[in-house]
Amino acid sequence: MAHTEVRTAQQPNATVTQVSFNPQDNTQICAVGHGLFKMFRYADSTLKPSQNLKQEHYNFTCHCWVSDDRILAGTDSGKLFVIQNGEILHEIKLDLKSESRSVQSQILTPIERQTDSIDMESRQDVKCIVPFSRGVIVAAGTNKAYTFDRIDDNKEYFRRNREIMLPNDPVDKSNNERIVAMCLSPSEETLVADVATFSYLTEGYHHAQVTGVDICVRKQLIATCGVDKSVRIWNYETGTLEVCKEFQEEAYTVSLHPSGLFVLVGFSDKLKLFTILIDDLRPFKEFSIRGCREALFSNGGHVFAAVHGNVIQIYSTVTFENITNLKGHNGKVRQLVWSPDDTRLFSCGMDGAIYEWELATSKRLHEAVLKACGYTSLSLSADAKTVYAVGTDRKIKEILDAQQILREIPISPDDMQPTSIALSHTGKSLIVGTSKGTVRSYKFPLTKADEFTEYIGHVGMINRLRITFQDEYVISIGDDGLVILWKLQEHGVSKKDKESTFAEEILITKSDLEEKNTLIRELKQRVTELREENEYQLKLKEMNYAERIRDLTDKFMQEMENLKTKNTVITGEKEKEASKHAEQVHDLLEKQNKELQDLESSNNQKLMLEYEKYQELQAKTQKTQEEYERQITELENRKEEEVTRQRMQYTAQLEKLKNDLILEREKNKQQSRDHEETKRQIEEDADEEILKMMQGHEQALIECKEENVSLRNKSTTFQRKVEESIKKKDADLTSLKNEEIKLQQAIRGLKKDIEGLKKEIQERDETIQDKEKRIYELKRKNQELEKFKFVLDYKIKELKKQIEPRELEIKDMKEQITNMEAELERLSKSNDEEKLKNEELKQKLSASALALQQEKQMKRDSELSLKRIKTDLHNCSALLQEPKLLKQKVFEINQLYVREDATEAANVDQDIQKEYARQRDHLERTVRSLKTKLDKDSERHKNDNIRIMQENVTLIKEINDLRRELKSARVKLQDLQTAMGISRKMAATTTDQIVQALHTHQNNHLVKEKHTELENLITRQRSEIQRLNDQLVHIEGRSRPTSGQLPPINSALAAH
C-alpha cells in the first residue's frame, strides 16, 4: 500500500501530539504539536498543506473539531484556542488552582484503570477534549475534567459550566491522577476516562527481614511477619497474597490458628489476637505480654503458648484466661513445639536447655541441658519421643525422651551454623536451614554427616523452617526478606487428600454482612429491573423486526407475483401477436398467389414485347442486387456483432451484479439471508426472462429468414412476385425490429426495477446494521452487569432456561434455511438442464444454417447460368436483321444450355414441384403451429399491418397506373403501326417485316412524330422503372432477390 509522508515543521525536534480527520470532510486533516498547528488536504494520493496557524509558538497538546471549519485546541499552559481558517478567534484561560463560582462538582465513577506512565508533577496542561451536542468536555490538570457549553456569541464562544472530579484512590496516596483520554457514549449518558496511574506489577513482598512464619491445618495459608511492620497472609497453592496489614510497630512473631480464622501477632508492647477477614485483619483480643518473640497455637487450637521473657504462659483460646505459667529457662526461649495430642509442650532456649512440659500438672517431665550449646530450633518426631535440635555448636542432635542424646551429626564447613530444623510428619525427611542461606535435606534416619543434599535459595541467614501438614512444601524465611516454598518429594510416600482437608470458609462481621446483603439486594433489584426492561425492549424490537420482515416478505412476494404476471401477460401478448401475424401472412400469401397467377397469365403475353426493356432493367437490377446483397450482409454481420456485444455486456453486468450481491450476502450473513435469497431468486427470474426473450427473438429471426428463403424459391420466375415478397419481408423485419426495441425497453425497465429493489434492500440492510449497533450497545451494557456474576449465578441459570426456547426457535430457523438451500440447489440443477436444451437447439440452428448456405450456393450457381444465358441472348439481338443467323444462334444456345431431353426437363420440373410442395407443407405446419401465437399478438401488430396494407394499396395503385400507361402505350403503338401501313390484317408476323416496314416509311412525317413521341414515352417509362427500382431497393432492405431456373427457351418460343 502506498503511503504519504509530510514534514510538518522545519524544526527537527518538533513533536506531533495529535492528528485527526474532519468529521464532515475526510480529506481534511489537522495536526498539532509543540510549536505546530498544520492543516492538510488529501488529494491525488498526496497530502497538501491548506491552512497554517500564523502564530506557532504555542505547544498544542490536543484538539477537536467543533464544526466543519472550526477547531478547539488546548496547550500545555492551560489555554484553549478557538481557531478558524488559520486564525485564532478566541482564547480561553483555565484557572485550575481556583474554584469558579458557577462550577458544580461531580464525582466520576471509576470503571477500570489502565497502566500508563506520565509525569505526575503539578501541571496545568490540557490532555484531552471531547465534543458533545451542547459543547465540549476538557480534561486538564489533575483529577478534574470541565464541561464547556457552546454559546452563540462572537466574543465568547464557550463558557465553563461544570467540574467533574475523579474519586480518590485508596491505594495511591499521592492523589494526583491525570486524565489522558476520554470517550463519550453515543447517547451522551456515560463518560469513560482513562487515567495515567501506576498499579502493582507483582504482589507486595516483604522488603526487610522476615521474623516469623506459621501454617494451619484447615486452609492452605501461610502467615508471615517482618521488620517492615507488616503481617501478610499468603495462599501457597495459588501463590497469591490474601491479606496484608501494616502496623505502626514491628511484629516479632506470628501464629495461625489451626482453623485459619485467627492469627496471633507479638508486638513490643502486647500480644494481639486478630480475626482474618476476606481483606483485612481485625483486632479481637489483646494480651499484656511485652516483647513476645515466640507464640504458638496448640494442634487443636483450644490453647496457645506465648513466651514472656523466660516464662512460657499458657492461655485458653475460648476464655482467654491464663491457665498456667511454665518457668525453668534461664535464657531466651527460641522455639516451642506441641506434642500431637496437645498434652505436652517442648521448648528450647539459648541457655542450652530443652524441656518437656506436661500441661496438666505444669511440671517438667524431662530435660536435656547442655551449657556449651545454645539451642536455636527443635523439631519433634511423630510419636513425640525423639527430639531433633540444632544450636550454636554446629551439630544436629537426636535426643530420646528429651533427656538422652543418641547421636550428634556435625555441620561442615566450620563457618556454617545451623539455624533451623524441621522434620516431616512422615518422618522420612529432615530439613536443616543454615546461616549461609542454604537448605539441607539429610538422609533419614541419620547415619553419616555427609549424606545430605544442599539447596541454595536465600542470600542471608534462614530464620525459620516449616513443613505443611501434607508434607508437600517446605517453607523457609530469612533475613533477605524472602519467603521461599520448596517442593518436598518423598519416595514411597502417598500424599493425603488435599481437597478433603482445606476449608473455604471466611469470617465476616455482621455490619459488613448486612452491608453486603443490602448491596446484593439492590443489585438484584437493579438486575431484575434491567432484565425486565431489556426483555421488554427485546420483545418490542423482535415484534418490530418480525413485522418488518413480514412486510418485506409480503412486498417481495407481491413484486415477484407482479413480475410473473407481467411476464405472463407479455408472453400472452407475444403469442397472440405471433398467431395474428401468421394468419395475416397466410392471407397475404393466398392473395399474392392469386395475384401472381393473374400476373403470370397476363405477363406471358407481354414477355416478348418487354424483353428488351427487361434486359436493360435486369442488368441494372443485377448491379443493385449485388450492392444490396453486400449491404445486407454487412448489416446482418453488424447486427449479429451488436447482439453479441449487448449479450456479453448484459451478461457481464449481470455477473458483476451477482458478485456484488454475493459480497453483500457475506457481510450480512445472519441478519439478511432471507432478503438475499429473495433478491437472488428475483435476479434469476429476470435472467431467465431475459434469456427467454432473447431466445424467442433469435428464434423469430431464424423463422423469418427461413420464410424469406422459401418465398425467394417460390418467386424465382416473376419479378413482381419478388417485389411483393421483398415488401412483405421488409415489413416483417420492421415489425421484428419494433418488437426487439420493445423487448429491449422491457429489459431496461426490468433492470431499473432490479436496481430499485437493490437500493431498497441496501437501505434496509443499513437500517438493520443500525439496529444491530444498538443491540450491540445493549449487549455491552449487559456484559458490564455480568461483573456481579459470582453472587448471581443462580439467577443466570434461570435466564439460561428462559433462553432455551429461543435457541430451539433458532434451530428451527436453521433447518428452514437448510431446506431453502436444498430448494435452491434443485433450481440450479433445473437451470443446468435448460442450458443443455439450449445447446441442443443451437446445434440444430447450426445445421439449419449449413443447409441455408448450401441453398444459397445453388442459387448463386443458377444466377450465374442465368447471367450467361442473358448475355448470349443479348448478343443475339445484333442478329435481328439476319433471321437465319439468329435462328442458328438460338439453336446453338439451346444446345449449349438445354442439353437434356424433354423427359429430363420434365423431371427437373417435377423435382421443383416436389420441392415447392415440401416447402409448402413445411410452411403449412409452421403456420398451424404459429396460429395460436399470432392470435395473442394481433392487437400489438394491428397498426403495423394496417400501415403495410396501406403501402400495398399504394403499390397496387401504382401498378394499375403502370398498366393504364402500358395500355395507352399499346394504343399509341397501334396508331404507329397504322401510320406505318401495318394493320392487324396485314400485321407482320416476323421481325424482318417490321424492319422492312420501318425502312419503307422512315421519311414519313407522321411516322417521325410518332417515333419521337414513342421515344419520349420510352424515356418516361425508363425513368419510372428507375424510380420503381430505387423504391424496390429501399423496400428490399436486408432481403435479397431470389433466383431460380428458367424454363427452356424452346418451350417459350413455342408458346409464342
Q: What is the pLDDT of residues 814-861, one digit of tens each?
A: 787 777 777 777 877 777 787 787 787 777 777 778 878 888 888 888
Q: Does position 1053 have pLDDT exceeding 50, yes or no?
A: no
Q: Does position 498 have pLDDT exceeding 60, yes or no?
A: no
464's grid cell: 525459620
Q: Is the torsion defined by CA of 505, 510, 512, 516 positive or negative?
A: positive
Q: Which residue has the cell 439496529?
A: 771
Of the candidates 136, 189, 132, 193, the one whose C-alpha atom is nearest the C-alpha of residue 159 is 136
Establish whether the linkage from the previous residue to 418 is cis, with ω within 30° of 0: no
Of 60-74, 83-97, 616-630, 671-685, the least confident: 671-685
Which of 1-5, 608-612, 651-655 has the largest mean confidence?
651-655
Helix (H, G, I), strand (E, B) or coil at 72: strand
Q: What is the pLDDT of residues 451-465, one digit of tens each?
A: 888 999 899 999 999
d(CA 166, CA 178): 9
Alpha carbon distances (Å) from 918 to 710, 911, 915, 924: 10, 10, 5, 10
Alpha carbon distances (Å) from 875 to 386, 880, 886, 890, 996: 155, 10, 10, 10, 22
Q: Confirm if 73 and 63 have CB atoms less than 8 A apart.
A: yes
**What are the residues facing 869 on neighbouring strands?**
none
pTM of the model: 0.42
- The pLDDT of residue 113 is 37
Higher pLDDT, 652 or 325: 325
Q: What own/partner pairs with CB < 8 Å and gap ≥ 24 does 689-693 have?
A: 689/563, 689/567, 689/750, 690/650, 690/747, 690/750, 691/838, 693/743, 693/746, 693/747
- The pLDDT of residue 209 is 93
693's grid cell: 426473450
Burial class of residue 1056 in the structure, from the number of CB atoms within 10 Å of its CB (0-12 exposed, 13-18 middle, 19+ buried): exposed
Helix (H, G, I), strand (E, B) or coil at 950: helix
**What are the residues facing 275 on neighbouring strands?**
262, 282
Which of 178-182, 228-232, 695-699, 884-888 has the largest mean confidence?
228-232
Of the candidates 202, 127, 135, the one whose C-alpha atom is nearest the C-alpha of residue 162 is 135
Higher pLDDT, 75 or 932: 75
d(CA 10, CA 27): 24
d(CA 446, CA 982): 171
Q: What is the pLDDT of residues 778-796, one digit of tens each?
A: 777 777 766 665 556 666 6
Q: Does position 7 have pLDDT exceeding 60, yes or no?
A: no
Alpha carbon distances (Å) from 268 to 249, 274, 512: 8, 16, 31
Tell me the mean pLDDT in the region 737-741: 79
- The pLDDT of residue 496 is 52
**What are the residues facing 780 on neighbouring strands?**
none
- The pLDDT of residue 111 is 39
d(CA 406, CA 398): 5
Q: Does position 722 have pLDDT exceeding 90, yes or no?
A: no
d(CA 145, CA 126): 10
Q: Confirm if 208 and 227 have CB atoms less than 8 A apart.
A: yes
- The pLDDT of residue 869 is 82
Q: What are phi and psi of 384, to 5 degrees?
A: 60, 25
- pLDDT confidence tier of residue 261, bands split at 50, 70 and 90: very high
Q: Which residue has the cell 495536526?
A: 31
Tell me the mean pLDDT in the region 20-24: 90
- The pLDDT of residue 130 is 93
User: Domains plus CATH for the chain?
Assistant: 16-196 (2.130.10.10), 210-327 (2.130.10.10)
Q: Confirm if 679 and 661 have CB atoms less than 8 A apart.
A: yes
Helix (H, G, I), strand (E, B) or coil at 476: strand
Q: What are phi and psi of 61, to 5 degrees?
A: -105, -30
Of 227-236, 800-809, 942-951, the least confident: 942-951
Beta strands in 134-287 (DSSP E): 135-140, 144-150, 158-165, 178-184, 191-196, 210-215, 221-226, 230-235, 240-246, 253-256, 262-266, 271-276, 281-287
Which of 471-475, 760-764, 817-821 has the largest mean confidence?
471-475
Q: Confirm if 40 and 31 have CB atoms less than 8 A apart.
A: yes
* Sequence-separated (6 or more) residues with CB below 8 Å from residue 523: 788, 791, 792
865's grid cell: 447460368
Q: Which residue has the cell 449465578?
A: 793
- The pLDDT of residue 235 is 92
Of 367-376, 482-491, 494-503, 948-957, the least confident: 494-503
- The pLDDT of residue 212 is 95
288's grid cell: 499484656
* Sequence-separated (6 or more) residues with CB below 8 Å from residue 71: 30, 63, 64, 65, 82, 83, 84
**What are the residues facing 312 on neighbouring strands?**
307, 326
- The pLDDT of residue 116 is 36
Q: Largest Cα–Cα distance in the chain?
A: 190
d(CA 427, CA 382): 7
Q: Does position 668 have pLDDT exceeding 70, yes or no?
A: no
Q: Does position 811 have pLDDT exceeding 70, yes or no?
A: yes
Q: Does position 375 have pLDDT exceeding 90, yes or no?
A: yes
Q: Which residue has the cell 541441658?
A: 369
Q: What is the pLDDT of residues 383-397, one digit of tens each?
A: 888 999 999 989 999
Q: Does position 172 have pLDDT exceeding 60, yes or no?
A: no
Share of the chain above pLDDT 70, in %: 77
Alpha carbon distances (Å) from 231 to 271, 479, 797, 945, 968: 14, 16, 40, 112, 143
Helix (H, G, I), strand (E, B) or coil at 369: strand
Of 115-124, 149-158, 657-666, the least confident: 115-124
- The pLDDT of residue 420 is 95
Length of the chain equals 1056
Average pLDDT value over all residues in the chain: 78
- The pLDDT of residue 108 is 42
Tell me the mean pLDDT in the region 600-614: 69
β-pairing verdict for 105-107 and 158-165: parallel
- The pLDDT of residue 323 is 94
Q: What are phi and psi of 603, to 5 degrees?
A: -75, -20
What DSSP state is assigned to residue 464? E
Of 80-94, 463-477, 782-796, 911-925, the least confident: 782-796
d(CA 328, CA 339): 19
d(CA 442, CA 450): 8
- The pLDDT of residue 673 is 62
- The pLDDT of residue 944 is 66
159's grid cell: 463558557
- The pLDDT of residue 1052 is 40
d(CA 934, CA 176): 94
Distance of CA 53 to the CA centre of its chain: 42
d(CA 20, CA 25): 11
d(CA 384, CA 393): 24
Share of the chain above pLDDT 90, in %: 23
Higher pLDDT, 801 or 76: 76
Angle at 637 between CA 633 and CA 643, to 5 degrees: 145
Q: Confirm if 735 and 944 have CB atoms less than 8 A apart.
A: yes
Strand 16-22's sheet: what is its strand order?
16-22, 25-33, 36-43, 46-52
